[in-house]
Structure 1
Amino acid sequence: MSLMTFLMCMEKLEELILFTEAANKWEYANIKGLPDYMKTCLNAPFDTTTEMSHKIYIKHGWNPKEFLQNAWAELCNAFLVEARWFASEHLPTTKELFEEWSGTLLRLWDDLGSAKQEYQLQHTVKKIKKILRSKLSSYSQVEELIMIDAIQRLGLEHYFHDDIHDVLERHHVHCITMVEDGSNLHDVALRFRLLRQAGYNVSAEILNRFKNKDGKFSKELDRDMKGRMSLFEASQLSTPGDHIVDDAIEFCESLLKSNLMNGSGQSDEARVIRTTLHNPYHKSLPRLLRQNEVNNFEISMKNLHDCCGITDWIKEVQYLAMIDVNESQIIHREEIIQMVERALLGGEAEVCKKSTSQMAYVVIVILPAPNMTELRTELTKAISFIYIIDDIFDVYGSLEELTLFTEAVNRWDYTNIKGLPDCMSMCLKALYDTTDSISAKWAELCNAFLLEMRWFSLGYLPTTEEYLENGKISSGVYVVYANVFSLLGEAVNHRSTNLFNSHHSIVSSAAEILRLWDDLGTSKDENQDGYDGSFIECYMNQYKGSSAESAHECVHLMISDAWKCLNKECLSHSPISAEFKVAFLNLARMIPIMYNYDENQRLPSLEKHMKSVLHVQ
């Protein structure tokens, strides 16, 4: 006789309630009124669950007892619902039956799978922490730094924040209290990079030991492939005035490119060199790249580092990355589905040509932490408005209408406005209802858009300085800044309140990178008939006789300088949080992918990364 038949044959509903209560508590000794035959029945699943859990733990290292207990409780709860239907002579609908049983079974299956994966994740994290701590035997042991590099390259540092801090703090103390005793270029450059990435303002003077009497990097380094790759990665953290690091970029880049030309382009080493040149860690987003890298990660690490003891931890780090990828995909897919369903202004917002899923994806990059779902939802709304207003100015409004629109935003009042098209009125109302706390930033954005429209209507090409100063505002980055500032709670810190109304250097640098990268592209939205001036056009007008090539070269140099300023601010002491700094570092890292248009005016790189992170086939 099955458990369900056994229960349904019992006469007293009160006894079934007691039976279900015992199953939920997973004990029956203290439940009064429970018949002996019910206790005997309960003994079977109790004993079986204990025995099965023990066997699974011995074989797989995972104890599922708690989740099996919950499964039995869920099953008995479902049976009790049916018994109550029977006792009240209620004939359930097919919908009630389906919801009761399908919901129970799917929930149990999902909970069991999720619980097992969460247990495996936490168990693996503990194992990696134990291994990392075992590498603390001596300062000269560089393997702990290699472990940190591996963890960060796979986007797993949030699991090991305190452990990584302890290791790097110890290395930093050694750097500032003792003469750097490493003679290996790879090790010195790796330590320099990891410390600067963590915000330690390590002097670039430690790289001077690898220069000859002429002030150039020694030719002996030509044969040190791992050292050159490590130095090239470190050189991405250059700050203004870091001439040693600037020399390192030129030295390493030319040699690495030469090695690619003269060697086998299909070898593992060549693949790692290409990745280093095109996607140096500091300027890339590892969580975007790891989906394709995780399976070959051990090979990549062996080409980047001398990894004598790598075998005792690399598989664990890879396994953790696979679990984390799966969990991230589930979280982000659900977020994007919800964001698309709630797409701002619904089907009436035809002015918003940008894909909501793309905007949500950019927000995932800016605020990547798993616990930031609500913050990402709010930031997606703000970015949606930026694109909507941009399209209104570029496509849908006359200069007179746009002037009225901008005046309304500056007054922060949408009532009694005559002469505006419906799309503008709708946008204004939604803007007021959604983002009241940062009205000044929206006014600043609209003023910048309006200035660009006036330039166009007058046939005026601004100077590069005028264009870039206004272009950083019209990029929308300052609106993103205000939202992130509020969402991360920076305003709570009294030292930070003045920053809210300013253009912080970190944000200004990110805005400059975005504006210049956008102008490097050849894209024009195919439905956009409005003005879309660029820095390139302004440069060639200001410097008569200059070529497009020289203008592009100037833009690349300016982007490089903006990155140096961004790096400097991340190394400086300021009242803003590390999370805030990382948000705008991630935005700067994302920008080349956002504006990498192909000949069909599409964004294949962005689409590829979206599919990778969301696991869309």
Structure 2
Amino acid sequence: MSRPNQMQSSSSDREQTHLDDSGIKHEEKVKSITGFLNNVVSEPVESLIIVDMIMRLGIKSLFQEQIKAILQWQYTHFTSLNHGKDDVYEIALRFRLLRQEGYYVLADVFEYFKDRGKGFIMKLEGNAKGMMELYEASQMSIEGVDILDEAECFSSKCLNELLTCNLDPEQVRMIESTLRYPYRKSFARSLAPLSFVNDMPAANPWMEDLLEVANRERRIIQSLHRKEIHQINMWWKELGLGEEMEFVRDQPLKWYMWSMAILTDPSLSELRVELIKPISLVYIIDDIFDVYGKADELILFTEVIERWDNACAEQLPQYMKKCFKVLSDITNDLGNIIFEKHGRNPTRFLKQMWANLCNAFLVEFQWNASGKLPQADDYLKNGIITSGVPLVLAHLFFLMGQNIANQSMDSKKEEVPLPNTIFLVAEILRLWDDLGCAQDENQNGYDGSYVECYLRENQGSSYQSARKHVMELISKSWKLLNKECLSPCPFSAPFLEACVNAAKMVSLMYNYEDKHGLGLLQDHMKSLTYDHETL
């Protein structure tokens, strides 16, 4: 299968963009901020505030070395910086930023704000800024650390009480945004950057330059995303699957949203384009099993994928034959790309991942055809695979060269231990999607729900109790994911960040509003591709 020419790296796009005077000015401001960051490494609070703002504005890639130096200094002096301090905002911000970047810092720094073990000090209640940051920090919890659960309950209670007070509209918006879209677990917060900016101290000398850089950088990245979308649309049109299989979802833009959210660094343009290929095929094969395929066809299709047998594929219906041909070409193509970049070819492993996915889809199909619901745990175990997340992130695992040098790709029985982060993200997606029992507006298929299985298994339970149970499972998965991302970890920071980004995208992708509209998702797409707001 032919592929479009590889997109040039974003660095060349950036060089072209910077030929004009405004581009030169932009580079000068980036250098100015870089110098400022170098000078405030040992500033306990101001350095944290600017790092947080850089991350929220989505321009972390410009200042990675400076951010690393600042947080390393903060980590080295963590105990002394927090000792005896009564500023909950400062301590919570330091704790959150360090944990976000993988530093294993202890949560006992929050014991200072508790009243002899009885609970958090009530005098903190009116501190909106501190409570918002305490709530944000509590999202970095790991299993077995009760104090962060207490911090979440206390801060959310205080913030909800503040909403009943006579606050100005901007304060209300900030508090509601914090409670609904904590930074660790959602991208939706980025839809209202002005709210965050307005909450920053006005006297900061770097504020104006930073906002100008963010505005310019956003336009550069939006232009890059539009080029990627054009390339993806050309690839999808050339593929011809949308025309040949009219029953499948024809949504390359929506599929690209996953790729764009998972890989936010502008320099990863080529990876974003390559990753959409397995993503698109997950959706297509899902529709084959859910919407169109007949039982005997699906069994044969699964056998073909398991054996990866071109001769056997000749027995398939034409639409399945076409799908297998595309799948085979893309898998071999990606295997060659990975080999060229990293010296190992994981094609056999990727084929096995596709077989696992199809087998799980077939199990789901047979459950629904029989009318018998499985046990909730069995459904979830299978649903983690049918989410498609393990397969997609396995592709990314190899595309990013994770530990490939230590893996043998030559044995016939290829066993590559994938990180647990991948399966935790899959569990979050499956549970979140099932929580709303949401069906895609362009898909007629139905593939069950964990909530439905749970209610059948727990007779007498209400939907509200089932929902609470699912939210607890999602919370547990996030805690485990947080733990997996802490140092020491054998996987690279960019790969772990990609996994967390995938989990963050879940609440946005499956935040169905009335009539199953995806308003927030559409707004997020616009914010990343078209200039609609100046900070």
TM-score (structure 2 length as normaliser): 0.88
Match of 2:296 in 1: 400
RMSD: 2.3
Cα gap change, 1:220/1:405 in structure 2, threshold over 3 Å: closer, same or farther? same
Spell out, residue by residue over 1:157-212, the C-alpha distance to the aligned partner (whole angstroms, 9 max, x if none).
Answer: 11111111111111111125787342211111111111111111100011101000
Shift of 1:604: 1.5
Which of 441, 452, 468 aligns to 2:380? It is 468
- The separation in 2 between residues aligned to 1:451 and 1:610, in whole angstroms, is 34
In structure 2, the residue corresponding to 1:249 is in which secondary structure?
helix
Shift of 1:455: 1.3
Match of 2:286 in 1: 390
1:336–1:361 CA contact under 8 A, matched in 2: no
Match of 1:606 in 2: 521
Shift of 1:228: 1.1
Q: Does 1:319 align with 2:212?
A: yes
Which of 476, 481, 488 aligns to 1:561? It is 476
Which of 109, 121, 124 aligns to 1:206? It is 109
Which of 337, 345, 357 aligns to 2:253? It is 357
- The separation in 2 between residues aligned to 1:214 and 1:496, in whole angstroms, is 52
Shift of 1:246: 0.4
Q: Does 1:595 align with 2:510?
A: yes
Q: Equivalences for 1:185-584 in 2 at 5 Å? A: 185-264=88-167, 266-285=168-187, 289-290=189-190, 292-294=192-194, 297-302=196-201, 309-310=203-204, 312-343=205-236, 345-346=239-240, 347-417=243-313, 419-436=315-332, 437=347, 438-494=350-406, 501-525=416-440, 528-584=443-499
- The separation in 2 between residues aligned to 1:112 and 1:237, in whole angstroms, is 38
Paired letter, 2:174: V
In structure 1, the residue corresponding to 2:154 is in which secondary structure?
helix
- Higher-Rg structure is 1
Cα gap change, 1:528/1:135 in structure 2, threshold over 3 Å: closer, same or farther? closer
Spell out, residue by residue over 1:69-107, the C-alpha distance to the aligned partner (whole angstroms, 9 max, x if none).
Answer: xxxxxxxxxxxxxxxxxxxxxxxxxxxxxxxxxxxxxxx
Paired letter, 1:293: P
Which of 127, 136, 139 aligns to 2:32? It is 127
Paired letter, 2:382: N
In structure 2, the residue corresponding to 1:516 is in which secondary structure?
helix
2:357–2:385 CA contact under 8 A, matched in 1: yes
Moved more, 416-425 or 601-610: 416-425
Match of 1:70 in 2: none
1:195–1:202 CA contact under 8 A, matched in 2: yes
Shift of 1:420: 2.6
2:249–2:442 CA contact under 8 A, matched in 1: no
Cα gap change, 1:449/1:112 in structure 2, threshold over 3 Å: closer, same or farther? closer
- The separation in 1 between residues aligned to 2:149 and 2:222, in whole angstroms, is 38
Paired letter, 2:175: I
Paired letter, 1:123: E
Q: Does 1:118 align with 2:18?
A: no
Shift of 1:298: 3.6
Q: Equivalences for 1:56-135 in 2 at 5 Å? A: 114-135=19-40
- The separation in 1 between residues aligned to 2:441 and 2:180, in whole angstroms, is 29
1:354–1:387 CA contact under 8 A, matched in 2: no
Paired letter, 1:259: L
- The separation in 2 between residues aligned to 1:499 and 1:321, in whole angstroms, is 45
In structure 2, the residue corresponding to 1:301 is in which secondary structure?
coil
1:404–1:420 CA contact under 8 A, matched in 2: yes
1:485–1:500 CA contact under 8 A, matched in 2: no
Spell out, residue by residue over 1:485-515, the C-alpha distance to the aligned partner (whole angstroms, 9 max, x if none).
Answer: 1111114341798997334221111000100
- The separation in 2 between residues aligned to 1:403 and 1:499, in whole angstroms, is 24
- The separation in 1 between residues aligned to 2:505 and 2:477, in whole angstroms, is 15
- The separation in 2 between residues aligned to 1:590 and 1:496, in whole angstroms, is 33
1:505–1:565 CA contact under 8 A, matched in 2: no
Match of 2:10 in 1: none
- The separation in 2 between residues aligned to 1:212 and 1:176, in whole angstroms, is 20
Cα gap change, 1:179/1:282 in structure 2, threshold over 3 Å: closer, same or farther? closer
In structure 2, the residue corresponding to 1:544 is in which secondary structure?
coil
Shift of 1:137: 5.1
Which of 42, 47, 50 aligns to 1:144? It is 47
1:291–1:325 CA contact under 8 A, matched in 2: no
1:291–1:613 CA contact under 8 A, matched in 2: no
TM-score (structure 1 length as normaliser): 0.76
- The separation in 2 between residues aligned to 1:230 and 1:213, in whole angstroms, is 22
Q: Equivalences for 1:26-41 in 2 at 5 Å? A: none
Shift of 1:315: 0.8
Q: Where do 5+ consecutive residues of structure 1 fail to align?
A: 1-109
Cα gap change, 1:382/1:209 in structure 2, threshold over 3 Å: closer, same or farther? same
Cα gap change, 1:530/1:504 in structure 2, threshold over 3 Å: closer, same or farther? same
Q: Does 1:167 align with 2:66?
A: no
Match of 2:336 in 1: none
- The separation in 2 between residues aligned to 1:351 and 1:120, in whole angstroms, is 51
- The separation in 1 between residues aligned to 2:418 and 2:459, in whole angstroms, is 32
- The separation in 1 between residues aligned to 2:261 and 2:419, in whole angstroms, is 20
- The separation in 2 between residues aligned to 1:202 and 1:409, in whole angstroms, is 46
Q: Which has the higher contact order (CA 8 A, sep 6+)?
A: 2
Cα gap change, 1:297/1:418 in structure 2, threshold over 3 Å: closer, same or farther? closer
- The separation in 2 between residues aligned to 1:574 and 1:464, in whole angstroms, is 32
* Corresponding residue pairs, total: 496
- The separation in 2 between residues aligned to 1:494 and 1:585, in whole angstroms, is 24
